[in-house]
Amino acid sequence: DAGITQSPRYKITETGRQVTLMCHQTWSHSYMFWYRQDLGHGLRLIYYSAAADITDKGEVPDGYVVSRSKTENFPLTLESATRSQTSVYFCASSSVVLAGFSETQYFGPGTRLLVL
């Protein structure tokens, strides 16, 4: 019963480097989300995906790329990391109900990223 996992849990990188954060869920949920959490800003949506090969921008997508070739995986790539991307990144998933995606989102444990 793994649920939703993220890797790595902690990452230190340098400005300009490419970084990929992984997210994997075992529930076969259709919807997956990436958030970043910073002090004073709460949770802000970066990208989300309604199904494999369907992705859409959230509130703060600049500097990030996502893909979803398989339902269970939703990697987030920082193409050229900047200090402003230092944050805690959470992946989440939810199932489909009649009214769209379920109001219940299940969050992974988070990845703490430091960009030097």
Partner 1 sequence: GQSLEQPSEVTAVEGAIVQINCTYQTSGFYGLSWYQQHDGGAPTFLSYNALDGLEETGRFSSFLSRSDSYGYLLLQELQMKDSASYFCAVKVNRDDKIIFGKGTRLHILP
Catalog residues that contact partner 1 under the rule CB under 8 A. 33, 35, 40-45, 48, 50, 58-59, 90, 92, 99-101, 103-110
Written as six digits, the tokens of 77 are 């790539």
Name which of 26 and 80 has its Cβ closer to partner 1: 26
Sequence-ordered strand ranges (E) for the chain: 4-7, 10-13, 19-25, 31-38, 42-51, 54-57, 64-66, 76-78, 87-94, 96-97, 100-101, 106-107, 111-115
The CA distance from 62 to 75, in Å, is 16
Q: How many CA atoms, within 13 angstroms, populate the side-chain half-sphere of residue 101? A: 16
Phi, psi of 22 (to 5 degrees): -105, 145
Name which of 27 and 107 has its Cβ closer to partner 1: 107
Name which of 9 and 17 has its Cβ closer to partner 1: 9
Name which of 20 and 102 has its Cβ closer to partner 1: 102
At its nearest, how many Å lie between partner 1 and the CB of residue 101? Answer: 7
